[in-house]
Amino acid sequence: MHNCGEIQTSSTRHHQPSTINRIVEVRIEQSWKEVLADEFEKPYFSLLASFIRKEYQETEVYPPGSKIFSAFDLTPFRDVKVVILGQDPYHEPGQAHGLAFSVQPGVQIPPSLQNIYKEIVDDVHSPYPNSGFLERWAKQGVLLLNNVLTVRRAAPLSHQGKGWEEFTDRVVELISSKRENVVFMLWGSQAQRKGLVIDTKKHLVLKAPHPSPLSAYRGFFGCKHFSKANEYLIQHGKTPIVW
């Protein structure tokens, strides 16, 4: 396979009679399409595409096919100011929509995001948000990137080890090499391992435990990543994020 085509999800079958190469053509913003073009040509991505196509046809997979690359569509490569790394999408109905930690409007705010909000309120003294929908961050330049971009219903990490990790590793590497003065928030050991390729001489790397209820009290609370990120952005002539 020579592009991202050939994956045909249930979403695209029912609503767009086209393949996921339409998602590459339409859903990925142009600057990402350009920097990632080589990845879509690689053998591992062909295998990944075949696996994902089969999963969407035979099982229930999240996010909807048209939303797999939403993080890229909403935050163009040239506009990335902050990268927040998540693990894999939420695996219950109606939650995942392509942005790490975010849920669709009207969905109960998940525990890890509740803890993120608690830290933001404490750190930058903003009001506690009433929605877990983080598109407002993405549109300001916060790339909400999961390590794995799809998941089977009720089966966390079910699409781990199929190729998404290689793809998202390359995304992190490209941001590090081709951009300057980006803030990377690495929460938990998985994100920190993924961040080993980041050039710390030209970017700000912030590390803390994962915000999940199991680990947030080990140092995520009080990390002040959100104010530190904004201070760094201001120092480098960029508009701070309204968290």
Distance (Å, whole) CA 210 – CA 115: 10
**38 counts as catalytic:** no
**Residue recorded with tokens 């890229």:** 72
Give the gyration radius of the chain's Cα atoms. Answer: 17
Question: How far apart are the C-alpha atoms of 50 and 48, rounded to whole Å?
Answer: 5
Which one of 88, 122, 169, 199 is the catalytic residue? 88
CB 192 within 8 A of CB 202: no
Residue 160: CB atoms within 10 A of its CB come to 13
- CA dihedral sign of residues 97, 99, 100, 104: negative
Q: For residues 115 and 109, what is the distance between their CA atoms, to the nearest angstrom?
A: 10
Check if the beta carbon of residue 123 is closer than 8 Å to that of residue 225. yes
What burial letters (b/e) apply to 77-111, b meaning 16+ CB within 10 Å? bebbbbbbbbbbbbbeeebbbbbbbbbbeebebbe
Which residues have a catalytic role annotated? 88
